[in-house]
Amino acid sequence: MISISQESDYIQTTVLGEFTLQDYREFEESVLYQSKFHGPVALLFDLHEMLSYTLDMALEELKFVREHGQEFNRIAVVTSDQWVTWSAWLSRMFTDAEIGIFDDTNDAKAWLVQSSELNA
């Protein structure tokens, strides 16, 4: 299950349980809509409660980041999972966005807001 909310400075996406292709497509629509009207997106991806993900979702993520990597300016990933951290760093090959990995959601939010204030 996925929860997506538009905050003042970023999009917050929280994954609970299994991360599926349907969830990822919902995320894609939100990012593309936001970037179309407001430019590059700052994103907080909270994966603390993610239990697993489907293979088709992982493949879609690679495809999306390759095609739309320029739609992001900063991506904060909240996780304590080593494989998710590795995957986030791997995604850096396909985007110019600055990627930060955090154990704490508040630290991730502060990092995103700081970026927004510096660019204002």
Give the confidence band of 36 by pLDDT, cuts at 50, 70, 90. Answer: very high
Give the confidence band of 115 by pLDDT, cuts at 50, 70, 90. Answer: low
Averaged pLDDT of the chain: 88
Query: Has residue 81 got a pLDDT over 90?
Result: no
pTM here? 0.86
Determine the 3-state secondary structure of 5 from DSSP.
strand
CA–CA distance, 65 with 71 (Å, rounded to integer): 9
CA–CA distance, 66 with 49 (Å, rounded to integer): 26
Domains and CATH numbers, the chain: 2-119 (3.40.50.10600)
